[in-house]
Amino acid sequence: MPRTRKPNPKSQRQISNEQIEPYVNPENGETIGNPNIPSNFDQFTANEQNGIEFNRSEKLSFRGDTTKPFTIGFEDIDEAIHYYFSNVIRPSVTQNNMRIPVPIIYGSPERWKSTQKDGYYKDKNGAIMAPLIMFKRDSIDKNRSLGNKMDANSPNLYTTWKKVYDPKNAYSNFNTLNNRKPVEQFIVNVIPDYVTISYTCAIQTYYVSQLNKIVEAINYASDTYWGEKDRFKFYATISSFDTPIEITDNSNRIAKATFTLTIKGYVIPDSIQKQLTSIKKYNSKAQVIIEMEAVSSLDDPKPKPLKTTSPIFIDNQKPVINYISQDVLVYLNTNIQKLGTYVNSTTVTFNSGWIQAPNSLPPTSIVNFTFFVNGTLVESAAIVSFTQNAGISTLVIDPTELGYSISPSDEIVAIGKFSN
């Protein structure tokens, strides 16, 4: 007997594609549909069936990265409220000429049930704990009046910020000299779900005067952003306070106050679905800007861009075109990097000579070279001489101007018009 299989429901993508009427070519009657939709819906991948668009190029690892994927949950909002009560409002009472800070606790189900049953909170020995502030979360309502990610299976709205420093693209003088724009890394996160959360807070003290001080401090903190300075902040509002006075069985009077705290918060869950569908980080494109400049003399403060042709006018006659030769272009574009060999604390040699400058340009000299010690640029004032002889270039530096002497472990690099 054949085995009956449970039918698989169609995905929303399949249902939507079935509603599309194909185009019929009036010339030959050929039916032309959407080329991005397979003719057989069974050809959809598992991610396509679930509505998840997967792009491997957008999945960069966070291994070794100090910046982690951004998440925020309800517990972070609870901690922000507790932090604001304890470190910003800092409620306190005066009793027996002593200032006593008011403890702040979260109303877990066991604690809140005990408070509702007895009318006040007791410690494990059965004694009433006063003064005390307790708060618990009551309800969570989604706020759709603000932005939204549009679609959880394929988010369309993101927040993006650039990392200040990326170890893979550290600053380099070589990149600066060659007009290389380094790759920048951006952290991307989906637009959060905005929620309105209601908390019920209870205050209990021994005296009304103590209760008044606490209520005044909390009421003053309403209609502002609660939370830690370097973490998350949420807009908090308080509408009213209910201040009954109760007398316990042993004739001890307890002053109580209850109020509702409303928080405008936002939530980004740490879920598998978000990890699969959202872009977490991406790199920008690198760029190398290539320009050529030439000066008429070394004293010219404003070099002009070099062009392949330069018209010269003589006595109002027709312009004479001065063509730049190929050897000049090759010379100007030559920038060879060489690693130096340590000789002593002031001398370094490079295993290469210099290329000869064309007749139309000044002869090759020290101004055509740049030197670095462990990635740090060597200023011209610290260079005593740079000469060549028999295919060997010799650099002599002044340790006093440089600020230190060269050691065998230093890496000395020269960039310029070397012959090979």
pLDDT digits (tens, 9 = 90+) for 230-267: 888 999 999 889 887 665 555 566 788 889 999 999 99
Q: Is residue 100 part of a domain?
A: yes
Q: What percent of the chain has pLDDT over 70?
A: 70
- Degrees, nearest 5: CA angle 307-311-312: 130
- Degrees, nearest 5: CA angle 326-175-304: 45
Q: Is residue 394 part of a domain?
A: yes
pLDDT given at position 146: 80
Residue with the two structure tokens 């070794």: 64
Task: Tell which of 252, 267, 282 closes a domain.
Answer: 267
Instruction: Flag the least confident range among 90-104, 123-137, 246-260, 354-368.
Output: 246-260
263 shares a domain with 319: no
* Residue 81 pLDDT greater than 90, yes or no: yes
84 shares a domain with 224: yes
Give 330-350 pLDDT, tens digit per residue. 888 888 889 999 999 899 999
Domain containing 375 equals 311-416
C-alpha torsion sign, points 409, 412, 413, 418: negative
376 shares a domain with 228: no
Give 142-181 pLDDT, tens digit per residue. 988 887 776 777 777 777 888 877 766 666 676 666 666 6
Give 192-217 pLDDT, tens digit per residue. 889 999 999 988 888 888 889 999 99
37 or 14, which is more confident?
14
Q: Is residue 41 part of a domain?
A: no
399 shares a domain with 322: yes
Q: Is residue 97 part of a domain?
A: yes
- Return the CATH number at 257: 3.30.2000.40
State the pTM of this model: 0.51
Q: Is residue 113 part of a domain?
A: yes
Token digits of residue 41? 């819906």
316 shares a domain with 262: no
With a CB cutoff of 8 Å and minimum separation 6, the contacts of 38 are 44
* Residue 369 pLDDT greater than 60, yes or no: yes
330 shares a domain with 260: no
| Mean predicted confidence (pLDDT) in 265-285 | 78
Q: Is residue 103 part of a domain?
A: yes
221 shares a domain with 83: yes
With a CB cutoff of 8 Å and minimum separation 6, the contacts of 74 are 137, 140, 197, 267
